[in-house]
Structure 1
Amino acid sequence: MIKKTLIQGLIIVAGFFLIWFGFSQIDFMKLFKVNERTHTMETKLGDMIWSQIQDSEQMVTNDTLIKTLDKLVNPLCKANDIERDSLKIHLVIKDEINAFALPNNHLVVYTGLIEDCKKQEALQGVLGHEIAHIERNHVMKKLSKEIGYSVLLTAAGGNKGGQLAKQILKTLSSSAYDRKLEKEADITSVEYMIKAHIDPRPMADFMYQIAQDRKMPEGMGWIADHPESEERAKYILEYIKGKKLNNKSSISEKDWKTFQEQVAKE
């Protein structure tokens, strides 16, 4: 009787492991085409939201300014194996001090941010931060958490897409990610800069500048949505402590000042 019970137990255990092994060999993501569906949704959402921005905002079309912005972005991408052509970077004429990422690798930069950065490295730090949000898939994580996956599918499907696109745009452009994702994007940006031989300390200085400016009106985008800026500056400086830092300017100081002046005239 004991022997029979033991054999039955062994059969059950063996059966469990066989079933487990069988399921482990199945690619459920492929089976249900989850990746494909999510990618399609992200593409549609990003292009739909960007279309709304185009309809309501004025874009910078000056090739010289676009090329200068590229000169600031390219070193970050090249040093960190990020495909530059995968990023769709748009320069929008707006006084707001803001930059934000959209689905499908869209990155929107307001001229007000460029005017406010005292050094090119500060701007590169912010751009690296937003690129990190894209590379780490933070954009879709944020939207899925705050809006809901099913609602995003509805928007991408075109059912009341226009209305939802406005809500999604507001979520991405005027509210911060949770602190964990923000810190991950900050540190990733610092790593991008170090690998590109760009000094990340001006990024921390920019954070302090944000923290110290108490007269900023509400709705100032990147500034208003990062109230813990002093704390972020501190952990950036702590992270780079003891690391060998190089500073290879992407453009000359003269070209940086000219860039800011020309942007201000747009």
Structure 2
Amino acid sequence: MKILVRFLVFVVGFVAIWMAMAQINWIEILHVQQASDKTEKELTRIIKESIERTEEIIKDSDVKYTIDSIVDKLAKENYLDAGKLTVMVVNNPQVNAFALPDDHIIIYSGLIKECGSAEALSGVIAHEMAHLELNHVMKKLVKEVGVSVLVSMTSSGGGQVIQEVTSTLTSSAYDRSLEAEADEYAVHYLLNADINPNPLADFFYQLALNEPEFASELGWLSTHPDSKERALEIIEQVKNKGDVYRPVISESSWNLLLEKVEIYSGQEL
């Protein structure tokens, strides 16, 4: 009889603990899902409008065509929907790029000039595409800003909150594990599209070398620490993968992109 009572107590206790844990986890998951489902589009709209008010968006057709060509190639070879992805190029000397929640990527002209090749730029775009595909953007915002703040932003649109969220996206690093995951996916995207990933590693390494001299302008470096280490990890990942790569765009298209970016920045070639 005592054994049966103890067994029943154990079962009841176990069920009670399991239900409590399940309830806590469900609430957490529900909050994240609600934030993702109900606020992504509104968050992106508000932040995008803020960027358009404060920055010059490059709307040149040649720039758009070239960037879209890279995105389309990456998407097609990785079975991603290029139609839902929007890329905006901002005339800003800072070396930076970041993703917004609702399938938007912002690229600064300074980053395009610093890349040095279409393949390196493709690597950056692939990295940001990975952040979107893996839902890293909302995970980051929920963790660093909070669900309640995000919901209040979409309902009231307070200027201070908008500034806080925008700053989080543009100048705050993802968790190390998320960055590593985005790097890994980016390399897979590039390899699937027959694009050489090594220029992305070169880009990381070059940013690390330039950090002391151009620290205030290297926004992408400040949000992506340990660039030398990550360059080596990319090289290791690519090792023994073969070297049959194809140009992502023509050399003339790349040169035209640089020319247009230089024109908008007001600098001579």
TM-score by length of 2: 0.86
Q: Label 1:225 to 1:11 Cα distance change in 2 as closer, same or farther (>3 A).
A: closer
Alpha-carbon deviations, 1:74-132, whole Å to 9, x = none?
11111111111221211111111111011111110111111111110000001111111
Alpha-carbon deviations, 1:60-83, whole Å to 9, x = none?
111121011111111111111111
Corresponding residue of 2:94: 96
Q: CA deviation at 1:13?
A: 7.6
In structure 2, C-alpha distance between the alignment counterparts of 1:109 and 1:85, rounded to whole Å: 18
Corresponding residue of 1:240: 238
* Matched AA of 1:129: H
| Alpha carbons 2:35, 2:150 under 8 Å: kept | no
Q: CA deviation at 1:253?
A: 1.1
How well do the aligned residues superpose, as a CA RMSD in angstroms?
2.8
| Alpha carbons 2:173, 2:222 under 8 Å: kept | no
In structure 2, C-alpha distance between the alignment counterparts of 1:247 and 1:37, rounded to whole Å: 40
Corresponding residue of 1:203: 200
Corresponding residue of 2:140: 142
In structure 1, C-alpha distance between the alignment counterparts of 2:158 and 2:242, rounded to whole Å: 49
In structure 2, C-alpha distance between the alignment counterparts of 1:63 and 1:193, rounded to whole Å: 25
Secondary structure of the structure 1 residue equivalent to 2:57: coil
Secondary structure of the structure 2 residue equivalent to 1:46: helix
Matched pairs, number: 261
In structure 1, C-alpha distance between the alignment counterparts of 2:255 and 2:190, rounded to whole Å: 21
| Alpha carbons 1:218, 1:224 under 8 Å: kept | no
Of residues 170-179 and 130-139 in structure 1, the stretch that sits farther from structure 2 once superposed is: 170-179
Return the match for 2:68 from 49, 67, 70.
70
Q: Which structure is larger by alpha-carbon Rg, 1 or 2?
A: 1
> After TM superposition, where is structure 1 displaced by more than 2 Å over at least 4 residues in a row?
4-21, 32-38, 223-227
Secondary structure of the structure 2 residue equivalent to 1:100: strand
Q: Label 1:6 to 1:224 Cα distance change in 2 as closer, same or farther (>3 A).
A: closer
Q: CA deviation at 1:10?
A: 7.0
Question: Counterparts of 1:82-231 in structure 2 under 5 Å?
Answer: 82-158=80-156, 161-213=158-210, 214-231=212-229
Q: CA deviation at 1:36?
A: 4.7
TM-score by length of 1: 0.87
In structure 2, C-alpha distance between the alignment counterparts of 1:246 and 1:39, rounded to whole Å: 41
Secondary structure of the structure 2 residue equivalent to 1:226: coil
* Matched AA of 1:84: A
Q: Label 1:34 to 1:171 Cα distance change in 2 as closer, same or farther (>3 A).
A: closer
| Alpha carbons 1:194, 1:246 under 8 Å: kept | no
Percent identity over the alignment?
38
Q: CA deviation at 1:162?
A: 2.5
| Alpha carbons 1:174, 1:219 under 8 Å: kept | no
Secondary structure of the structure 2 residue equivalent to 1:97: coil
Corresponding residue of 1:45: 43
Structure 1 gaps of 5+ residues are: none
Q: CA deviation at 1:34?
A: 6.5
In structure 1, C-alpha distance between the alignment counterparts of 2:142 and 2:215, rounded to whole Å: 29
* Matched AA of 2:205: Y
* Matched AA of 1:186: D
In structure 2, C-alpha distance between the alignment counterparts of 1:90 and 1:147, rounded to whole Å: 24
In structure 2, C-alpha distance between the alignment counterparts of 1:197 and 1:42, rounded to whole Å: 32
In structure 2, C-alpha distance between the alignment counterparts of 1:121 and 1:130, rounded to whole Å: 14
Secondary structure of the structure 1 residue equivalent to 2:38: helix
Of residues 10-19 and 62-71 in structure 1, the stretch that sits farther from structure 2 once superposed is: 10-19
| Alpha carbons 2:204, 2:231 under 8 Å: kept | yes
* Matched AA of 1:182: E
